[in-house]
Amino acid sequence: MNPNLLAAPIALPLFVAALLLALSRWGGRQRIGLQRWLAAVTLTVVLVVALALAQFTLGGQRLVLQMGGWQAPFGITLIADGLTAILLTLTALVALAVLPFAIATIDLHRERMAFYPLFLVLVMGVNGAFLTGDFFNLYVFFEVLLMASFVLLTIGGQPAQTHSGIRYVVLNLLGSLVFLAAAGIAYGTLGTLNMAHMAQRLDAAPMAVRALLAGMLLVAFGSKAALFPLFFWLPSSYHTPPPAVTALFGGLLTKVGVYTIFRSFTLFFPDLLAAWQPLLLGIAGATMLIGSLGAMAQPTVRRVLSFHIISHVGFMLMGLGVALNGEKLAVGFGLSAAILYMAHHMLVKTGLILAGGAVEIEMGGDRLQSIGGLVGRRPLLALLFFLSAISLAGIPPFSGFIGKLTLLQITLDSRHWTVAGVSIVASVLTLINVMRLWQEAFWGKYEHPGRLTPWLLDAPVRRWLVLGPIGALLLLSLGLGLFGERFFQMTTTAAQQALDRTGYIAAVHPVQPESVAGPAETGGHD
Amino acid sequence: MPELYLRLLDRILTPVLLILTLFLLLRGHNLPGGGFIAGLMAAAAFQLQILSRGEVVVRRQVGRYLHPGIGIGLLMAVSAGIAGVLDTGFFVGLWFDIPLGPLGHLEIGTPVIFDLGVFAVVVCVVTSFLLGLNAVAEGVDA
């Protein structure tokens, strides 16, 4: 397989975003329509590339691109293994689902302020963070997606948006600062920033360096992933932008943090997975509990849903915590379950936020106290919301069930009774929460706080742009649940690949600095 | 708010800054310098214009080109990377030897295009920041 394919999920969205910006003065009224179509086509192509990569890597192989033909520790490496390919596919799916909803709901002002280019740049940043095999490059992609998300959060210029945007960017920049400091320490002590090369040299590094780096990375990535106790930026910012933007963030952003925690702990510090297990599981448990308890106290649909994101990130971390355990079950089962849970979460959470957003726009507000009775007016939306909600809560046959079941299996198998119990409590609380939303928003007397008459679901085209993606995500969740075993086999391959660090290092194959100077003549990709 | 002395200084300094920009841009190929630094320098020239002529005038003159400029710069930079795929891989540099008759020959490659792209992005982004900040400073509604 041609390794240049790895550049496509990064280069293509960036290229099209640049094209849209360059043409932003021409085309008059058709311009926005052109932007929509180009964005949709781009994301579809990225999805196809991601699927091809998934098909290749889930056969147990890795694909490596040394950019510019420079060999590993000198140039920037892009690498895809199963985990990367699965996440790329999910990212493209989430983005493709949010795009029609955005087309239907984003106002003309935001569309003129380069909404679609920013959307593509955000996708590019997420893809880049998944693909890169270079530590500093990872930092760059974090900044790319932070900046793109910051602008998406604040365009429109409502005071509440600016307020939350500043909190969001300041707290995230603090996380980035810790990450940057960690990168500096890594370069100072290990003399390299290529991730495979770092992994190689970390084996010989003193314990103090390893523990310091691991701790800093856990803080930095934990704040990106909204883990306890660094989650507070998320609920204070996710409820202010338009619902389409919240759905995109909820589907993608925290998952980049989770991915980097997975990658750094499996690649750099596999021994700390065992030594720090109580810490990881403690954080996971606290995150699950805080997220679902916090959601109980929230007054609006979107705030409840954003607190849930936090709770679910805890489930994923729990899977990582028991990644190396297994008595009756195989080693790697926990990580595999976590990846499956991540897939479930990305699809269902996005769908549910979209459905909640549709409710909010339809009603003109999303305070639970002041809305109600939508089930008679919008039965299809009600049905989709209900099914997404029970999928999130983990009721079979949807994907939430298999995700939670496998995670519970491995925690019980490895005798972590407490965290298993906490996860059950968090699941029950999630169920209570989503049922509260369902009851308040859809049942009771019809109440409509907005001043405008409901407009969102009246025009047929717009109705399908809004309901279509929610339905499609729900179908994917159903598929994930029904064919759970097949998907679990895929995630197991991915988890074993992620845990096989010698394979990763061998695939990147960093040469020793003494042996080569200058660009390799052959291009260096194999 | 136009300032008399600054306008005089501006006539002398702006060409100097722009020549320095060009120098830094081309020098950056093998030595310290390059598109990013040259871009900042060019943006400094724009800031001088803003100080001497006022934000409104400069915005009227260049404001509408800034967004497309960012796009064109990004396009050039990404295209330089994609051009490498035609050879062996993403971001592999391609080199062309252009004979210039008696002047010798000019070896030019995709990294120069990349640098020019970065230059355009930096100039446009920083200038639009400066315009926004100056609008706030001058009390003009951006």
Of B71, B82, B92, which is closest to A19 when you measure between CB atoms? B71
Q: Which residue of chain A is at minimal alpha-carbon distance from B65?
A: A25
Contact between residue A295 and residue A307 where contact means Cβ atoms under 8 Å apart: yes
For A4, the closest of B68, B70, B89 (CB atoms) is B89
Where b means 16+ CB within 10 Å and e means fewer, A206-231 reads eeebbebbbebbbbbbbbbbbbbebb
Choose, out of A4, A10, A16, A21, the residue to mutate when testing the contact with B (most B CBs < 10 Å). Answer: A21
Minimal CA separation from B90 to chain A, in Å? 6
Q: How far is A525 from chain B (nearest CA, A)?
A: 8
Interface of B with A (CB under 8 A): 64, 67-68, 70-75, 78-79, 81-82, 84-85, 88-93
What tens-digit pLDDT sequence spans chain A (526 residues)? 888 888 899 999 999 999 888 887 776 667 788 888 999 999 999 999 999 999 999 888 899 988 877 887 888 899 999 999 999 999 999 999 999 999 888 887 788 778 899 999 999 999 999 999 999 999 999 999 899 999 888 887 778 888 888 888 888 899 999 999 999 999 999 888 999 999 988 888 888 999 999 999 999 999 999 888 888 888 888 888 888 999 999 889 989 999 999 999 999 998 888 889 999 999 999 999 999 999 888 888 888 888 889 999 999 999 998 888 777 777 888 899 999 999 999 999 999 999 998 888 888 777 877 787 777 788 888 899 999 998 888 888 888 888 889 898 888 888 888 888 999 999 999 999 888 888 888 887 777 776 667 677 777 888 888 889 999 999 999 999 899 889 999 999 999 888 888 899 888 888 776 554 444 444 444 4
Q: Across the interface, which of B68, B82, B88 has its CB nearest the CB of A21?
A: B68
Is A65 in Cβ contact with B90 (below 8 Å)? Answer: yes
ipTM of the prediction:
0.84
Q: What is the pTM of this model?
A: 0.90
| Contacts made by residues A183-191, CB under 8 angstroms, sequence distance 24+ | A183/A135, A183/A136, A183/A139, A185/A209, A185/A212, A185/A213, A185/A216, A186/A135, A186/A213
Name the residue of chain B whose CA is nearest to A519's CA: B92
Q: Provide the strand spans (E) within A421-512.
A: none
Q: Which residue(s) pair with B82 in the sheet?
A: none
Closest-CA residue of A relative to B77 is A15
Q: Is A372 helix (H, G, I), strand (E, B) or coil?
A: strand
Give the number of residues written for chain A.
Answer: 526
Provide the shortest C-alpha distance from residue A361 to chain B (in Å).
29
Please report the pLDDT score of residue A32 as a whole number: 82
Tokens standing for residue A483: 């064919």
Residue A299: other Cβ atoms inside 10 A: 11
